[in-house]
Amino acid sequence: MNTITLGQFSLVYNAFSFTFATMGAATLFLWLSRSQVGPAYRTAVTISGLVCAIACYHYFRIFESWNAAYGVADGVVTTTSVAFNDAYRYVDWLLTVPLLLIELVLVMRLSQAETMSKSLRLGFAAALMIILGYPGEIAADNGARALWGTLSAIPFLYIVYELFSGLGASIERQPEAVRGLVKQARLLTFASWGFYPIVYMIPYTSLGGGAVTTGIQIGYTIADIIAKAGVGVLVYIIAVRKTAAEAQTPVAAKAHA
């Protein structure tokens, strides 16, 4: 465990508390708002809330682990005998990242068969991506970090391909009122996910120990807020608009998931 300054400690501490509150607020908002969308979209909104709820729990754990790993007295930060447990992030992602892709698929309201096959394929690729990234995250040397990071990039690239090629045709079939928003949700997912590999590569830089630790934690935290709460609210807005559009032209009802 690297020594960090009081400023770095406080920044991460406050960022964790902020993210806990943000995830909790997003969960409550999404679950309370379920009744605002049509029955066909409630599962997408429920799962969006679930992703935030799981993240809320893990940010509580990460916050507690951060406080246990460092002691602060009279403005001086010291490391304790307890290591900061970064694995909380990976167990969180193992659950939430497949669900994030499933919420995107669900809000598109494809046919039942397409929904199942896309959810399974994307969900499996997402889980694989997380599992392959973890050995690199805890590796002591940058060589192993790069190896596992590269392996993890394979399912990541497959997901990007699926999002832009596989889902592309389905997006063109979305009602005009939401087509732009669905593309935004896809782009936000891609952009926020693209953040993770960048953060993952921070240890390769010439930054010192405390700055690396702080950079990784703040970077993952921002990416998590955008990918989970940000995309979740966007999925909700898409669901509201699709509900309104379908109330006017009740044709799409046969595609009911």
- Long-range contacts, 203-212 (Cβ 8 Å, 24+): 203/142, 203/145, 204/142, 204/145, 204/146, 208/2, 209/2, 209/3, 209/4, 210/2, 210/3, 210/4, 210/5, 210/8, 211/8, 212/2
Instruction: Give the contacts of 254 (CB within 8 A, at least 6 positions apart).
Output: none
Number of residues that bind a second copy (CB under 8 A): 50
The distance of closest approach from Cβ of residue 101 to a second copy in the complex, given in angstroms and rounded to an integer, is 16
Residues within window 63-102 making contact with a second copy, judged by CB under 8 A:
72-75, 81-83, 85, 87-88, 90-92, 94-95
Provide the b/e sequence for 225-236 (b: ≥16 CB within 10 Å).
bbbbbbbbbbbb
Question: Per-residue x/- mask for a second copy, residues 166 to 205, rule CB under 8 A?
Answer: ----------------------------------------
Question: Per-residue x/- mask for a second copy, residues 138 to 167, rule CB under 8 A?
Answer: ------------------------------
Q: In the set 57, 124, 190, 195, which binds a second copy (CB under 8 A)?
A: 57
5 binds a second copy (CB under 8 A): no
Instruction: Give the contacts of 230 (CB within 8 A, at least 6 positions apart).
Output: 188, 192
Q: In 41-115, where do the E strands start and end?
A: 70-73, 76-79
Nearer to a second copy, 13 or 195 (CB): 13
Residues forming contacts to a second copy in the complex (CB under 8 A) are: 10, 13-14, 17-18, 21-22, 24-25, 28-29, 31-36, 39, 42-43, 46-47, 49-50, 53-54, 57-58, 61, 72-75, 81-83, 85, 87-88, 90-92, 94-95, 112, 240-241, 244, 256-257
